[in-house]
Chain A
Amino acid sequence: MKEKIKIASGQGFWGDLLDAPVQQVTKGEIDYLVMDYLAEVTMSILQKQKNRNPKHGYARDLPILMKKILPIIVEKKIKVITNGGGVNPVACADAILENAVELGIEKIKIAVVLGDDIKGCLDVIVASENELTNMETGESIKSIQDKILSANVYFGAFPIVEALENDADIVITGRTTDTGLTLAPMIYEFGWKKDDYNHLSLGTIAGHILECGGQSTGGNFLGDWQSVDNLAEIGFPIAEAYPNGDVIITKHNNTGGKVNFDTVAEQLVYEIGDPKNYITPDCVADFTSIKLEDLGNDRVKLFDVKGKPETEFYKVSCSYYDGYSAVGTLTYSWPQALTKAKAADKILRKRLENLNLQFDEIRSEYVGYNATHETLAKKIDEDNINEIVLRFAVRSHDRESVKRFGQEIAPLILTGPPSVTGFAGGRPKPSEVVAYWPALIPKKLVTPKVKILELK
């Protein structure tokens, strides 16, 4: 058994710093590179892409990145684990293999985790008296079944462990929990058992710290943010894991950013609900049990975590079409910028009303005044405000109403309050609203599968 392993986070979301994974594999020694690409919205985007082209449906940045780092990871024997396979992990693995061939790599093994995509068997599942009730509203999925775009189960760490046991160099998954990507190599290397809930919870929490990339190493830090040096060259987090269940959160030495109690604590409270019951497919982690010790020099020790058995369910996330929306903006300058923007808002609402358009919601915000803190925004002295952006948004199940709204924005420039600009982008077009349907499905109804693709 290895004395310790270093697991490095390379991406916090699809669209993150493109060079972060390159830095992770070149600026110091690591054993694993883990990359999270999938937010809920990402799955629906990928499904739309796959619908247009059956060879798409994965994070297409990923093979491009892999082409850059393949020679390094092969040489240094760094394993890569990522959920960037999206709704088409096999096509993603094929694209990476093609790159490997082009680079003259002769031997590489990619494992693909399949089985999370249940869109094709939803009818059977629903017919078997499992109505995938919405966890938030309690409604049966039947009400939206004909509008479903994608349906994926969240797998945890164990299918990835199986892939690693097959000696995979690269593991590509579809919908896997962000935390499972980091937990899996710990289970594999240290032989942690399925019922070792304290260790599984510790690895899960380490995964939570890594899953948003630079957000635990000084990025988006609301503490003393100006004390964080060199964000331009921010180092992404690394979990240095030990068999006894200690994990040190750190980053490569020669990088910017900061790792201390405060930066790690901020990430720990990010997007959590009941901290005693952080539910994953692998375990139920207790965030209140977490012990953190700031060791200095960008090293924070995470230890002594408690956990409970996993539940009998997987979470399912379905995306479905739910109408249309559009957003338009106009910029008003001093003097009386806010008063003018408010007058424009009133005029626009009156025009939309006169046209008898149908909207589910109309929302106006004043960027520069209240777009972030709304009712908590302080009153402003208009003489000291240089400009205000009116941000006007609508949502409707009637596409024509949203389209017509887009045609009513620009005319305000010639027929509304003065000193207005910022309409170079053209008319806002209706875009499809994709909503989410979270549900639970008994684990026995879904089976993860590992498929091996290799050059040998």
Chain B
Amino acid sequence: MKIKLKDIAHGRSGDKGDAANVGLIAFDDEGYKIIDKYVTADRVKNHFEGICFGDVERYELPNLRALNFLLHNTLGGGGTVSLKHDAQGKTLAAALLRMELEVE
């Protein structure tokens, strides 16, 4: 069964130097089980191919039904140096929600 991430989760993203932080929050406990199992660091790294040029770290916050991803080397040098229109990665959480998951 194919699931669109935007149907089961929301989130918020921002900057930490040249890394972007992308927080992903499931709308309910069932959704958290799915994102915890399927939204792996590797999958996020592949999703952001051509955007994230460094490692992706993943952290779990089950009490908040949330995952936090740190996408290194992503913001073109960081907040004030970056030439990007979205220099602080504010829209990257929405970009992550474009992901589709094949769920058993």
Contact = CB atoms under 8 A, between A and B. Distances in A.
27 contacts: A40-B79, A41-B80, A220-B12, A222-B10, A265-B65, A266-B10, A266-B11, A266-B12, A266-B23, A269-B21, A272-B21, A272-B23, A274-B57, A275-B61, A288-B59, A288-B61, A289-B63, A290-B61, A373-B91, A373-B94, A373-B98, A374-B50, A375-B48, A395-B83, A433-B80, A435-B81, A438-B17
Interface residues of A, number: 50
A434 interface: yes
Given A265-B64, A322-B81, A433-B80, A372 B95 contact: yes
Contacts, number: 134
Interface in A339-376: 361, 363, 365, 367, 371-376
B72 to A, nearest CB: 9
A365 B85 contact: yes
B12 A222 contact: yes
Interface string B43-73: 0000111110000010111111110101000
B63 to A, nearest CB: 6
A331 interface: no
A423 interface: no
Interface of B: 10-18, 21, 23-25, 27, 47-51, 57, 59-66, 68, 70, 76-81, 83-86, 91, 93-95, 97-98
Interface of A: 40-41, 44, 136, 215, 220-223, 262, 265-276, 287-292, 322, 325, 327, 361, 363, 365, 367, 371-376, 391, 393-395, 433-436, 438
Contact of A361 (B12, B63, B66, B76): B76
Name the prevailing secondary structure of the B interface residues: mixed
Contacts of A262: 10, 25, 27
A32 B57 CA distance: 38
A268 B76 contact: no
Nearest to B59: A275
Nearest to A395: B83
Given A268-B66, A270-B13, A270-B21, 17 more contacts: A44-B80, A215-B12, A222-B10, A223-B10, A262-B27, A268-B23, A268-B61, A275-B68, A276-B59, A289-B63, A290-B61, A365-B84, A365-B85, A371-B85, A372-B91, A376-B95, A436-B78
Contacts of B59: 274-276, 288
Given A288-B62, A292-B64, A372-B95, A269 B23 contact: yes
Contacts of A291: 63
A270 B12 contact: yes
Contact of A433 (B25, B81, B95): B81
A41 B79 CA distance: 8
A269 B64 contact: yes
A136 B19 CA distance: 10
B18 A269 contact: no
A274 B50 CA distance: 24
Contacts of B21: 269-273
A215 B93 CA distance: 15
Contact of A266 (B17, B25, B60, B91): B25
Contacts of B48: 375-376
